[in-house]
Structure formats: structure tokens, C-alpha cells
Copies of this chain bind each other. A is one copy, B any other.
Amino acid sequence: MPYEEILERFKAQLKIMNLKVTRERLMILEEVMKRKDHFDADQFAADLSVSGVKVSRATVYRTLDILHDMKIVHKTTLGHKHQHYENMVDRAHHDHLVCLKCDKVVEFLEPRIEELQEKVCVDHGFEIKDHSLQLFGICGDCKEADAEANN
């Protein structure tokens, strides 16, 4: 989806929600759209600042929340004490593999897991709304590094 389109969608949504189109919100949207990785609010605020964009941390949190409500960003817990955000424009749902040694994050999608989750919910009379799945382990690179260290 071209940036122009997201921008228009963002503005339109803000209008619908009775929110104002401000310089800060546009700057944050722009920065989010540049990101393809999993980022945390603090790092994001720092990067904005380095780019010469002055926006307070409070506004970053507030705006990321709006973007989350609009499903433009997704929030995940990857085993740290802070939340991670990711740009979801043109991206399908996925879960995460997290390396316990180097913190590398790899995305995956296993449709059969998704189906089984649905089934579990139905079996328990739940209407599923969301889920959170993270697999923690040691990535290939770290395993290799370990093996070498033991030689």
C-alpha cells in the first residue's frame, strides 16, 4: 500500500474518531512506516529525536496506541519487560521465534497451529479474539557459536 494511501487512511480515521491531525501524529506515522522490525517505544522516541523530530515520549506512547487501535501497528510481548511494536501495513498475522542468547526475532506462520487454536476455543466454548504465541530457544547462529566455544 503506497504511503500516500496510508496517510489518507490515517487522516480519515482520525477524523472519524474525532481526533486532530497534528504534526506530531504525522511524524510518528512516517517513522512507523519506515520500520520493518520490532521496536520498543523508547528506542522509537530516541530515533525520532536523532532524526531531528521533537516529540515527547508521552506523545509517542499515545500515538502508538492510536495506531494500534487502527490496526496499523501490532503490539507484542517478546519476553522482555517492555512491549514491542511492529508496522502491520501490508503484513499478515504471524507469531515469533525469539533467541534467548542474541534476542534475534524470527517471524513464522503455521496455519495448522492457528486452526488448532480455533478448535481449542470452540471446544471450550470460547469465542477467540486474539492470541499470543512465542517460541523461545537458541538460534542456529548461537548454537554454532556455542559448539565452537566448546572446541
Which chain B positions have C-beta within 8 A of A79?
A: 132
When C-beta atoms are compared, the residue in chain B nearest to A78 turns out to be B132
What is the interface size of chain A, counting residues whose CB is below 8 A from a CB of the partner? 34
Which chain B positions have C-beta within 8 A of A134?
A: 131-133
- Provided the pairs A77-B77, A127-B143, A132-B79 are in contact, do residues A120 and B138 lie with their beta carbons within 8 angstroms? no
Stretch at the interface among A30-38, A43-51, A61-69, A109-117: A109-117
Q: Given contacts A126-B138, A126-B140, A131-B136, could you give 11 more A-B pairs where the C-beta distance is less than 8 Å?
A: A97-B120, A97-B121, A108-B120, A117-B135, A125-B139, A125-B143, A128-B135, A128-B137, A132-B132, A132-B133, A132-B136
Query: Can you pick out 27 interface pairs between chain A and chain B where the beta carbons lie within 8 Å of each other?
Result: A77-B77, A97-B120, A97-B121, A97-B126, A99-B126, A100-B129, A108-B120, A108-B124, A110-B120, A112-B112, A116-B116, A117-B135, A120-B135, A121-B135, A121-B137, A124-B139, A124-B140, A125-B139, A125-B143, A126-B140, A127-B137, A127-B138, A128-B137, A129-B136, A129-B138, A130-B136, A132-B133
